[in-house]
């Protein structure tokens, strides 16, 4: 059993739930939390028995961003080092792990907290939640890859608008513009997140893994490059256990039992 001070970890039915656990600080991220998030995402990334990861926050917020009152500046030479050595490895683990990662958002996902929400493969939000880029209000810019994440989801004008306006983007608008996949009643957020995760992992793991791999590669490749990557992977999957099981289940009118 993994023991942590700033996160809670729960593994059940092949679903790993990682909860930011500094509710008194609205789950603002400090040095300890970053270290523990790196450790647990390393474990989840390399555990093939885990089919899906959920990232959420305890209490009334997902994450209020970096904890500016923690005294962690002494841990790093400067902000650039903190971003590259503290935050970046967690982003990389989320992007690179083959299984889908769901961000489950209650309350505020602000600053770098919003970046962690957006970098996940899928996002479900409480109807009372919101994303916020507050940086222009303190003479800084969004970080944690937020410019890339916003631009590649929304396009230039809307991404720039959100980056500079210091405005809360509430759940319904996030759903409308593509920053969220689902919006649910606040009281049902945990329940609906688990239901969704369980539905997802009923699908073939090799399908989930390879579609994530391809999707994550599309931003810097041409149509033809992606087309050929799809055909190459399809060749590898053709005739596999999951492929044959899926076809047989369809013909026999039953639920498939994938590996």
Give me the mean pLDDT over the 177-193 stretch.
Answer: 98
pLDDT recorded at residue 47 = 96
Residue 78: pLDDT band with limits 50, 70, 90: confident
pLDDT surpasses 90 at 159: yes
What are the tens digits of pLDDT across the range 21-37? 999 999 999 999 999 99
Q: Interhelix angle for 146-154 vs 156-165, to 10°?
A: 140
Q: What percentage of the chain reaches a pLDDT higher than 70?
A: 98
Identify the H or E element spanning 162: helix 156-165
Inter-residue contact 145 to 115 (CB < 8 Å): yes
Surface-to-core class of residue 202, CB atoms within 10 Å of its CB (0-12 exposed, 13-18 middle, 19+ buried): exposed
Which CATH architecture fits 7-200?
Answer: Alpha-Beta Complex (3.90)
């Amino acid at each position: 059993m993994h023991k942590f001070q700033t996160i809670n970890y729960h593994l059940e039915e092949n679903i790993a739930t990682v909860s930011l656990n500094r509710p008194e600080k609205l789950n603002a991220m400090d040095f300890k939390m970053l270290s523990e998030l790196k450790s647990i995402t390393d474990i989840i990334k390399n555990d093939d028995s885990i089919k899906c990861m959920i990232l959420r926050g305890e209490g009334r917020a997902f994450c209020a961003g970096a904890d500016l009152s923690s005294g962690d500046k002494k841990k790093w030479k400067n902000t650039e080092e903190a971003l590259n050595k503290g935050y970046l490895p967690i982003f990389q683990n989320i992007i690179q792990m083959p299984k889908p990662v769901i961000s489950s958002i209650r309350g505020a996902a602000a600053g770098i907290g919003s970046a962690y929400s957006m970098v996940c493969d899928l996002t479900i939000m409480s109807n009372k939640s919101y994303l916020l880029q507050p940086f222009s209000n303190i003479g800084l810019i969004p970080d944690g890859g937020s410019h890339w994440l916003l631009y590649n989801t929304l396009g230039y004008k809307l991404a720039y608008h959100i980056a500079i306006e210091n405005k809360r983007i509430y759940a319904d608008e996030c759903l409308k513009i593509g920053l969220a996949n689902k919006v649910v009643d606040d009281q049902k957020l945990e329940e609906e997140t688990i239901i969704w995760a369980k539905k997802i992992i009923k699908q073939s793991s090799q399908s989930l893994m390879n579609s994530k791999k391809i999707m994550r590669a599309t931003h810097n490749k041409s149509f033809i490059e992606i087309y050929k990557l799809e055909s190459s992977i399809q060749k590898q999957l053709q005739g596999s256990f999951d492929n044959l099981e899926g076809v047989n289940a369809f013909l026999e009118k039953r639920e498939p039992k994938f590996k």
